[in-house]
């Protein structure tokens, strides 16, 4: 499933906040290639810069230095408008806090990026329904987020990230707010996405999530300190170990 | 108990200092309304001092009798000498009459000066001073053959000075002097008791637009071409001036000094109506602005409420802190408004040129102070009570978690917005999250447009009157309405900007999320602007008929006046343009922040 062609390439990526004595190097010279269909897990303690890196990769934040290419196209110097188009068409985000609109039902939340991308309401709704079925939550389509459990909310958020068929899904601590059962549910979903050839970059500090990846990168103080290619990912022994292999 | 009060006041003071800009805005909004209301109330207490001073300086009559020209008792009739003598004898010997002057002949004529042609009442006088109603010359000298003395209000409006030559009844007269009198209300007030019996055209306010001049008796006799164009004025002094109305009731064709005073006060009365109207409009605007302001502060203070409750504060203490802050601000604003109002009021209560003496400071009575303070407190209490109670009732844990209130779901609006372009989609969803704020925005715009349209209706009414010369009443009304317009526009601009800022600030998370999901910064900015523009639209539409109707109701007796269509269209479009411009800045500033940082910090 993994192609050698990188869908995402970052080189010399830096992000600093503040200045002089208060200068913080959140991301400090990161190089990263993500191949199409690959699942990359970035691990590290809180505050090591992994969320900032994810925001840089997804065009939510501009780097202080370095280059990012998505599907071979440089995006670092793109206009805000071009970055927005990129986010809507090529990138899907999954956040730790789900970030669903409280006043919208599950299906309305899922279809929102589709509407923002200019899809017709009918097409956006049909695709949203299809995705909710895919994540196993079609029965909760008309529920408000407040009526959903954490795991269900995250499934809805994942469906939302997929609505515009993004090249890459960037997940920021997707299980950070979930209990064990919900975590396994979400991991299974990521596994299914991985199986379908979806490229994933998951930022986490949880071993179980990292164990499902093709590649595990450790990050500390804004730099990559270790990289490990995993054999088998969620389909291998590690997957069995965390309860995914039994399916 | 004392400890509680100290704690509440200390916490409130700290919070006010922590948010100086918002505290200042609350203060300004209430102070603007309090200032306008203070001026309105102060004008209602304007003393009759100038008229009394003029009466004293001119030996003003208590009763004025008009004979001939109808005298208010029917159509114009020539008066015979015998008839006049009988009337004079009857009135001057009536019980209570202590002195008199006249009868003085009066005639209608036309004055021409530097292109102006205005009707005048010419009163024939003796060169010797009269014991009753001797006009006080303020410039130049008294009448002499070939010379005219002009009533000061009229001279000012006409722009005539001592030494100028004017044409009266086809003859040239030199202006000998300018004088004031207490026997007629100064120009442009009504001279109806003298002239209404003559067949003269009625002006814009339902009375003839005429000035008063004094000439020698022979000159006036020369104007009276026919017998019907001459009447006589007889000035009477009573032993008890307060009995003048009773005397007038017994003697038809007589008028009292009290009626003249009322006519003078009517000039100020129009200002009072305009100011009271403006004051209430501005008060409503202040209420709308405060509603948003206080609601916003409550949202921001959710975590603080949690902290207070976590350390043992009772719901009463929490509500007390929030209320105390706004009450302190309201009292400070009321003080500012009272001071500003008492400084502005004298500028608006100049009595004009027609009377002598200073008008005296408009009285800021104890009741005015109490009313303004109560209104300011009511505004602050009403706008902070509900959020204060809500804040006090919030559970400590959810307040500490700073969990946002779940907005009410509006499925219809959501479904409709899905079919619209992205900026409109975002705007409608933004509105659905804060419907009350949208309502306040609409009210704010409706109130402003109502005020402006009412003022335009006033201008339209005045211009339809085709005034030939400057009119004091009109000039003062124009000045006042201009001040009210400026205040309305400033307050509405502050409200609109603030509402846009609050909407952008409260919606920063959803906006950041929308951007993360693919909306451009431009679409988010346009969405926020439209969220302000959409409620402004019905507000502006409703404000137009409301303004016309309000002017019709206030100007009792005036016909329904509709300003020209281009002006109404101008107000409508300018309002929408102003809202767009004012909201674009906070919306754009808000959309400039990288969404990642907002998502991370929320």
CA proximity to B132, closest of B48, B240, B55: B55
| pLDDT value at residue B78 | 65
Q: Measured between CA atoms, how close is A60 to chain B, in angstroms? A: 5
What is the reported pLDDT for B101? Answer: 87
Judged against a pLDDT cut of 70, whether residue B325 lies above it is answered with: yes
The reply to whether A62 touches chain B by the CB within 8 Å rule is: yes
Among B66-80, B133-147, B267-281, B379-393, where is mean pLDDT lowest?
A: B66-80
A85, A99, A121 ranked by CB distance to B418: nearest? A121
Q: Please tell me which of the candidates B406, B422, B515 has its beta carbon nearest to residue A102.
A: B406
Chain B environment of A111 (Cβ under 8 Å): 418
Out of A55, A103, A117, closest to residue B408 by CB? A103
- Answer whether B597 sits within 8 Å of A144, measured CB to CB: no
Q: How far is B24 from chain A (nearest CA, A)?
A: 31
**Position B208 confidence tier, pLDDT thresholds 50, 70, 90:** low
pLDDT of residue A166: 93
- Under DSSP, the state recorded for A61 is S
Q: Look at residue B205 in the predicted model and tell me its pLDDT.
A: 41
- Residue B484 confidence (pLDDT): 77
Q: Which of B431, B517, B526 to mutate to test the interface with A (most CBs of A within 10 A)?
A: B517
For residue B563, the distance in angstroms to the closest alpha carbon of chain A comes to 44
> What is the three-state SS of B511-562?
HHHHHHCCCCHHHHHHHHHHHHHHHHHHHHHHHHHHHHHHHHHHCCCCCCCC
pLDDT of residue B74: 41
- Cβ contact (<8 Å) for A52 and B596? yes
Would you state the pLDDT for residue B269? 63
The pLDDT of residue B593 is: 79
What is residue A202's predicted lDDT score, i.e. its pLDDT? Answer: 93
In this structure, what are the phi and psi dihedrals at residue B559, rounded to the nearest 5 degrees?
-70, 160
Q: Which of B28-37, B158-167, B299-308 has the lowest mean pLDDT?
A: B299-308
Least confident span in A3-12, B190-199, B306-315 = B190-199
User: Which residue ranges of chain A lie beneath pLDDT 70?
Assistant: 1-4, 231-247
What SS3 state is found at A31?
strand
Strands (E), chain A: 6-17, 24-35, 39-43, 65-70, 73-74, 91-94, 168-172, 199-204, 215-220, 223-229
Q: Say whether B425 and A84 touch across the interface (CB within 8 A).
A: no
Q: B418 and A164 in contact by Cβ < 8 A?
A: no
Compute the radius of gyration of chain B from its Cα atoms: 32
Q: Residue A30: its pLDDT value, please?
A: 92
pLDDT of the residue at B4: 72
Q: How confident is the model at residue B188 (pLDDT cuts 50, 70, 90)?
A: low
Within the 571-600 window of chain B, which residues sit less than 8 Å (CB to CB) from chain A? 594-597, 599-600
Report CB contact under 8 Å: A103, B406: yes
Average pLDDT over residues B2-23: 78
Residue B599's pLDDT is what?
81
pLDDT reported for residue B225 = 61
Contacts of A104 in chain B (CB under 8 A): 409, 414, 429
Average pLDDT over residues B301-320: 70
Who among A55, A88, A146 is closest to B517 (CB)? A88
Average pLDDT, rounded, for chain B? 78
User: Is B517 within 8 Å of A116 when comparing Cβ atoms?
Assistant: yes
- Diameter of chain A by CA atoms? 54
How far is Cα A29 from Cα A223, in angstroms, rounded to an integer?
7
CB A211 within 8 A of CB A230: yes
Cross-chain Cβ contact A84/B520 below 8 Å? yes
Q: Write the pLDDT tens digit of every residue in B589-600.
A: 877 778 887 887
Rounded Cα gap, residues B500 and B488, in angstroms: 18
pLDDT at residue B301 tops 70: no
C-alpha B88/C-alpha B103 separation (Å) is 7
**A171-221 residue pLDDT tens:** 998 888 888 888 888 888 888 888 888 999 999 887 888 888 899 999 999
Side-chain half-sphere CA neighbours of A84 within 13 A: 24
Q: Which of A136-140, B295-299, B469-473, B567-571 has the lowest mean pLDDT?
A: B469-473
Cα of B404 to nearest chain A Cα, Å: 10
A36-59+79-241 — its CATH code? 3.40.50.300
pLDDT, tens digit (0-9, with 9 covering 90-100), for B348-397: 655 444 455 444 455 667 877 888 888 778 877 776 676 667 666 666 66
Is A52 part of the contact surface with chain B (CB cutoff 8 Å)?
yes
pLDDT in tens, B229-265: 678 888 888 888 888 888 888 887 788 888 877 777 6
Check B521 against A84: CB less than 8 A apart.
yes
Q: Name the band, by pLDDT with cuts 50, 70 and 90, for residue B570.
A: very high
pLDDT in tens, B21-53: 778 877 877 787 788 777 767 665 554 456 777
Are A60 and B594 an interchain contact pair (Cβ–Cβ within 8 Å)? Answer: yes
Q: Would you call A144 and B515 a contact, using CB atoms and an 8 Å cutoff?
A: no
Is residue A146 less than 8 Å (CB to CB) from chain B?
Answer: yes
Residue B146's pLDDT is what? 86
Within 8 A by CB and 6+ apart from B52, the residues are none
- Separation of alpha carbons B214 and B149, rounded Å: 5
Chain A residue with CA closest to B432: the answer is A103
CB-nearest partner of A116 from B408, B433, B514:
B514
Across the range B272-286, mean pLDDT stands at 74
- For A54, the closest chain B residue by CA position comes to B596
Question: For the ranges A184-188, B338-342, B555-559, which has the lowest average pLDDT?
Answer: B555-559
B276 vs chain A: nearest CA distance in angstroms?
A: 43
Do the chains contact at A61 and B594, CB–CB below 8 Å?
yes
Query: B136 forms bridges with which residues in the sheet?
Result: B180
- pLDDT (tens digit per residue) in B398-429: 666 655 566 778 888 888 898 999 999 999 98
Which candidate, B39, B157, B46, B47, places its Cα nearest to that of B483?
B39
Residue ranges per domain, chain A?
A: 36-59+79-241
Q: Is A122 on the interface with B (CB under 8 A)?
A: no
Task: Give the integer Cα–Cα distance in Å for B88 and B83.
Answer: 9
Cβ–Cβ of B418/A124 closer than 8 Å? Answer: yes
B419 touches chain A (CB under 8 A): yes
Question: Residue A133 has what pLDDT?
Answer: 92
Long-range (24+ apart) CB contacts under 8 A made by A97-100 are A97/A177, A98/A145, A98/A150, A98/A153, A98/A154, A98/A156, A98/A157, A98/A177, A99/A157, A99/B513, A99/B516, A99/B599, A100/A145, A100/A153, A100/A156, A100/A157, A100/A160
Tell me which residue of B398, B87, B366 sits closest to B231, measured CA to CA.
B87
**Tokens standing for B167?**
């044409």
Q: Which of B268, B138, B118, B102 is nearest to B195 (CA)?
A: B118
Task: Report the residue of A53, A95, A112 to disrupt the B interface, i.e. the one with the largest count of B CBs within 10 Å.
Answer: A112
User: Average of pLDDT values for B2-11?
Assistant: 76
Q: Which residues of B touch A112 (CB under 8 A)?
A: 514, 517
Strand bridging mode B97-113 / B116-125 = antiparallel
- Residues B497-508, mean pLDDT to the nearest whole number: 81
Task: Pick the range with the lowest mean pLDDT from A149-153, B168-172, B280-284.
Answer: B280-284
Q: What is the pLDDT of residue B66?
A: 80
Q: Is B523 in contact with A84 (Cβ distance < 8 A)?
A: yes
Whole-number pLDDT of residue B204:
41
Q: Label residue B574 by pLDDT band (50, 70, 90).
A: very high
Facing A80 at nearest CB: one of B422, B517, B520: B520
């Amino acid at each position: 499933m993994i192609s050698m062609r990188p869908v995402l390439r970052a080189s010399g990526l830096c992000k600093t906040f503040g200045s002089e004595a208060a200068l913080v190097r959140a991301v400090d010279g990161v190089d990263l290639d993500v191949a199409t269909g690959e699942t990359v897990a970035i691990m590290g303690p809180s505050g090591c810069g992994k969320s900032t890196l994810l925001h840089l990769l997804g065009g939510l934040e501009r780097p202080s230095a370095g280059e990012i290419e998505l599907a071979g196209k440089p995006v670092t110097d793109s206009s805000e408008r071009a970055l927005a188009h990129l986010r809507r068409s090529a990138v899907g985000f999954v956040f730790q806090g789900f970030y669903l609109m409280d006043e919208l039902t599950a299906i309305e939340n899922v279809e929102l990026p589709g509407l923002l991308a200019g899809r017709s309401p009918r097409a956006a709704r049909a695709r949203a329904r299809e995705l909710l079925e895919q994540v196993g939550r079609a029965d909760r389509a008309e529920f408000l987020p407040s009526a959903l459990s954490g795991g269900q909310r995250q499934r809805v958020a994942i469906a939302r990230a997929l609505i515009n068929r993004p090249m890459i899904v960037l997940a920021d601590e997707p299980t950070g707010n979930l209990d064990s059962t919900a975590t396994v549910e979400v991991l299974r979903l990521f596994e299914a996405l991985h199986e379908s050839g979806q490229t994933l970059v998951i930022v986490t500090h949880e071993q179980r999530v990292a164990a499902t990846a093709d590649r595990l990168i450790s990050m500390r103080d804004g730099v990559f300190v270790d990289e490990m290619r995993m054999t088998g990912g969620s389909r291998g022994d590690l997957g069995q170990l965390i309860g995914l292999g039994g399916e | 108990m004392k400890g509680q009060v100290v704690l509440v006041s200390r916490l409130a003071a700290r919070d006010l200092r922590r948010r100086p800009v918002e505290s200042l805005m609350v203060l300004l909004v209430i102070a603007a309304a309090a200032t306008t209301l203070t001026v309105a109330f102060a004008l209602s207490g304007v003393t009759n001092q100038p008229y009394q001073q003029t009466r004293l300086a001119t030996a003003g009559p208590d009763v004025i009798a008009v004979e001939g020209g109808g005298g208010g008792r029917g159509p114009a009739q020539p008066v015979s000498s015998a008839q006049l003598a009988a009337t004079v004898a009857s009135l001057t010997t009536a019980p209570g009459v202590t002195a008199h002057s006249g009868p003085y002949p009066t005639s209608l004529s036309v004055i021409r000066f530097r292109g102006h042609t205005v009707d005048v009442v010419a009163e024939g006088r003796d060169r010797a001073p009269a014991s009753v109603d001797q006009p006080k010359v303020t410039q130049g000298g008294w009448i002499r053959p070939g010379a005219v003395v002009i009533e000061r209000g009229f001279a000012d409006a006409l722009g005539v000075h001592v030494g100028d030559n004017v044409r009266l009844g086809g003859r040239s007269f030199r202006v000998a002097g300018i004088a004031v009198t207490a026997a007629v209300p100064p120009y442009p007030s009504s001279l109806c008791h003298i002239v209404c019996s003559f067949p003269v055209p009625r002006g814009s306010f339902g009375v003839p637009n005429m000035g008063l001049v004094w000439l020698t008796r022979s000159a006036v006799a020369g104007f009276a071409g026919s017998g019907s164009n001459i009447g006589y004025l007889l000035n009477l002094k009573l032993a008890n001036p307060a009995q003048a109305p009773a005397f007038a009731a017994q003697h038809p064709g007589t008028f009292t000094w009290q009626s003249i005073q009322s006519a003078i006060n009517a000039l100020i009365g129009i200002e009072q109506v305009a100011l009271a109207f403006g004051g209430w409009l501005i008060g409503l605007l202040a209420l709308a602005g405060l509603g948003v302001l206080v609601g916003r502060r409550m949202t921001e203070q959710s975590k603080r409420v949690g902290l207070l409750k976590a350390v043992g504060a009772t719901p009463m203490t929490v509500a007390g802190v929030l209320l105390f802050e706004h009450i302190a601000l309201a009292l400070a604003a009321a003080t500012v408004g009272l001071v500003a109002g008492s400084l502005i009021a004298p500028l608006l209560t100049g009595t004009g040129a027609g009377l002598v003496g200073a008008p005296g400071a408009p009285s800021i009575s104890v009741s005015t102070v109490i009313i303004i303070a109560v209104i300011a407190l009511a505004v602050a209490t009403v706008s902070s009570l509900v959020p204060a109670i809500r804040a006090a009732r919030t559970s400590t844990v959810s307040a500490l978690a700073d969990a946002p209130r779940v907005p009410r779901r509006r499925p219809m609006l959501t479904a409709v917005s899905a079919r619209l372009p992205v900026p409109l989609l975002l705007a409608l969803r933004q509105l659905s999250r804060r419907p009350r704020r949208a309502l306040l925005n609409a009210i704010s715009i409706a109130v402003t447009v109502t005020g402006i349209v009412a003022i335009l209706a006033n201008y339209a009414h005045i211009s339809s009157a085709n005034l030939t010369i400057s009119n004091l009443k009109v000039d003062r009304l124009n000045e006042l309405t201009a001040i009210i317009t400026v205040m309305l526009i400033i307050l509405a601009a502050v409200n609109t900007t603030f509402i846009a800022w609050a909407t952008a600030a409260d919606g920063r998370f959803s906006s950041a999320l929308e951007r993360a999901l693919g909306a451009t910064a431009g679409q988010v900015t346009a969405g926020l602007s439209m969220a302000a523009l959409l409620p402004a639209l019905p507000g502006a539409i409703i404000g137009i008929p409301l303004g016309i109707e309000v002017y019709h109701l206030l100007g009792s007796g005036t016909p329904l006046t509709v300003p020209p269509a281009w002006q109404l269209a101008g107000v409508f479009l300018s309002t929408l343009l102003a809202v767009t411009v004012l909201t674009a800045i906070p919306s754009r500033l808000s959309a400039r922040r990288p969404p990642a940082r907002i998502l991370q910090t929320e």
